[in-house]
Amino acid sequence: MQRIGVFVCHCGSNIAATVDVKKVAEMTLLEPGVVHAEDYQYMCSEAGQEKIIAAIKEKNLTGVVVCSCSPRMHETTFRKAAEKAGLNPYMVEIANIREHCSWIHKDMEEATEKAVILARAAIAKVNLNAPLKPGESRVTKRALIIGGGIAGIQTALDIADAGYEVDIVEKEPSIGGRMSQLDKTFPTLDCSACILTPKMVEASAHEKIHIHTYSEVEKVSGFVGDFTVDIRKKARYVDMDKCTGCGVCQEKCPSKKAASEFNRGLNTRSAIYTPFAQAIPNVPVIDTENCIKFKTGKCGVCSKVCQAGAIDYTQKDEIITEKYGAIVVATGFDTIKLDNYDEYAYNQSKDVITSLELERIMNAAGPTKGHLERLSDGKAPKEMVFVQCVGSRCSDDRGKPYCSKICCMYTAKHAMLIRDKYPDVNVTVFYIDVRTPGKNFDEFYRRAVEQYGVNYIKGQVGKVIPQPNGKLLVQGSDLLDNKQILKEADMVVLATAIEPNPGVRKIATMLTASIDTNNFLTEAHAKLRPVESPTAGIFLSGVCQGPKDIPETVAQAGAAAVKAIGLLAKDKLMTNPCTAQSDELLCNGCSTCANVCPYGAITYEERQVNDHGIRETRRLAVVNSALCQGCGACTVACPSGAMDLQGFSNRQILAEVDAICQ
């Protein structure tokens, strides 16, 4: 029989206001095995932990139950406290009487009754707990960054500067990501490329950073500290080692009708191309869908003009396999498709554009060489209307429920830049709310309004109607003046909602990292562990975790790097001891368990056993505890019950069931 101590936390008034903590302590004393029970203001505090330590020592406790907040919060805290007192940390169980009780119930009697039952279940479990010892696993001192935008680059630089090898996998032909498409940045208005390209160069020149562009993660196996990743390096048809980046091939390529991805399809590019002038690596790729050589077999101009002989039409995709200790997801975002927003006439008029398209138009390397002009007729606009929250903060399923966060600021930036460069252009912004929290943000917005005379109208645009004269009729409402507005505009710019890169779900599945309904990766804790995924060894950098601007992205990228460095700096990791184990006297050797094991942790051995005097050689399941992650799939597949999970054994869970149904 265990000697169990029960510690009931008040959590200030968080628990004590709805649960009679004294009564819980009192009631648990009646449970089998319980020899000590007390309550305290804050069990997780130094003083609270001391109480646990003292009781373990004084009363020779062999098990501890803490009735407190979720084990996801403080299980580790209390396990460490128990360890300090010389008790095996796995002899501690938590009864979650805060998140699962006091916070959701109002009636004191009811909540107290439930808290007692939850405590009973934990006590019943501890009665069957056995000391567990974690194993050790090695750490591969190399990190993988998925995504080569500013988030990925910054994380890579920070990890590499700490002395660890880093691989960046970027699916596009160049690193740089969304930031490379931006013209200016708020609130300082400095040029995006001017601050990004030095970072790109730094990353590519860093001896510890290895960049795989035009590549995608194909397969991930393993676990924290020891991931094995297959990376598909798509065929570029250009030899990276030979190409000098002279650009002649792109000039001479006769197929120039492919939509430029970099310029958001606003102009065209050649079939052999680098996305933009400062691309890293400065080695083009051949887009086989548009290449005449690939389509018809004839052409081969690029190969003929290439002095370096770098063109290789026979190149094949290549799979490389590498081991990593940590993986950082930095897959970024894209703007949503506007097919659900027909009222803005985006698909009908060339002069209705997204903000990201405006960035390209404003950029000197863009489709109009930086001149603000209508894409329909090349005329300079006189009236511009900006529509905020297109697809953001949307209550139906046409758009996204969240705020895309960056739109208010970049619209102020656009408005300001236009008014600055073209003072004769009138700029009107329709908004629901203007949200400008951030250093120098509100000042920036006020400058747009006060200094640059941008006309902000609180209200939404209902419809944009292309007119026969080429203008756009904007129907909107002014909520402050309570009137309908009809306005003729030359261009309409939609602040289109951003969404996580559509490929991220597939990556999350490969990484077994959890992802929310909006396809943002979930943090391990919304407040306290914002750059870690709940899956150990997976870190989050940039917009893949939630909408954010460049400074926030860079800050988070650094934070993700620190977390990854913290992991890579370790030589060994303690492994979860809650792994499966097979009872060799019960095992049938039927292989059912191995069939459901996602980690290949179960193998079979012919072993000599002594089953109550019968000595025979049997085929037996053997669990490799370094590979086992403790899911328990095998335990249910096993018909004889030979396979059991330490820490969540059949008897332990049944004891909890019994205690609850008592």
Region 529-558 residues binding another protein, contact defined as CB under 8 A: 534-535
Is 461 near another protein (CB under 8 A)?
no
Query: Minimum CB separation from another protein for residue 529, in Å?
Result: 12
Rg (CA), the chain: 31
Query: Minimum CB separation from another protein for residue 114, in Å?
Result: 4
How many CB atoms lie under 10 A from the CB of residue 110?
A: 13
The pair of three-digit structure tokens given for residue 365, joined into one six-digit string: 């390397």
Among 60, 598, 600, 603, the residue binding another protein under the rule CB under 8 A is 598
Is there a contact between 619 and 610 (Cβ–Cβ < 8 Å)?
no
The DSSP bridge partners found for residue 285 are 273
Contacts of 109 by beta carbon, 8 Å cutoff, 6+ apart: none
Q: Is 543 helix (H, G, I), strand (E, B) or coil?
A: helix
Q: Is 569 helix (H, G, I), strand (E, B) or coil?
A: coil
Instruction: Return the residues of window 63-82 that contact another protein according to CB under 8 A.
Output: 70-72
Contacts of 438 by beta carbon, 8 Å cutoff, 6+ apart: 187, 409, 549, 551
Query: Minimum CB separation from another protein for residue 578, in Å?
Result: 7
| Contact track, another protein, 601-620, x by CB under 8 A | ---x------x----x--x-
Phi, psi of 420 (to 5 degrees): -70, -45
DSSP 180: G
Determine the Cα–Cα distance for residues 215 and 213; give it in Å rounded to an integer: 5
Query: Minimum CB separation from another protein for residue 107, in Å?
Result: 8
Calculate ∠ Cα 12-16-17, nearest 5°. 100
Query: Minimum CB separation from another protein for residue 113, in Å?
Result: 7
The distance of Cα 646 from the centroid of its chain, to the nearest Å, equals 31
Query: Minimum CB separation from another protein for residue 502, in Å?
Result: 15
Burial 420-435, CB ≥16 within 10 A → b, else e:
eebeebbbbbbbeebb
Candidate segments 317-325, 375-383, 487-495, 585-593, binder of another protein by CB under 8 A: 585-593
Is 41 near another protein (CB under 8 A)?
no
Candidate segments 234-242, 255-263, 277-285, 590-598, binder of another protein by CB under 8 A: 590-598
Is 132 near another protein (CB under 8 A)?
no
Is 509 near another protein (CB under 8 A)?
yes
Among 104, 240, 364, 574, the residue binding another protein under the rule CB under 8 A is 104
Among 96, 270, 335, 368, the residue binding another protein under the rule CB under 8 A is 96
Nearest to 27, CA basis, from 11, 8, 12: 8
Instruction: Return the residues of window 630-649 that contact another protein according to CB under 8 A.
Output: 630-633, 635-637, 639-642, 644-645, 648
Query: Minimum CB separation from another protein for residue 625, in Å?
Result: 15
DSSP 89: G
Q: How many chain residues are in contact with another protein, going by CB under 8 A?
A: 73
Helices (H), 162-217: 192-205
Contacts of 606 by beta carbon, 8 Å cutoff, 6+ apart: 617, 618, 619, 620
Query: Minimum CB separation from another protein for residue 346, in Å?
Result: 30
Candidate segments 227-235, 251-259, 330-338, 577-585, binder of another protein by CB under 8 A: 577-585
Candidate segments 130-138, 196-204, 415-423, 651-659, binder of another protein by CB under 8 A: 651-659
Candidate segments 320-328, 400-408, 435-443, 512-520, binder of another protein by CB under 8 A: 512-520
Q: Is 506 helix (H, G, I), strand (E, B) or coil?
A: helix
Among 376, 514, 581, 624, the residue binding another protein under the rule CB under 8 A is 514
Is there a contact between 9 and 48 (Cβ–Cβ < 8 Å)?
yes
Query: Minimum CB separation from another protein for residue 629, in Å?
Result: 6
Positive or negative torsion for Cα 603, 607, 612, 614: positive
Query: Minimum CB separation from another protein for residue 23, in Å?
Result: 15
Instruction: Return the residues of window 354-393 that contact another protein according to CB under 8 A.
Output: none
Candidate segments 36-44, 108-116, 149-157, 275-283, binder of another protein by CB under 8 A: 108-116
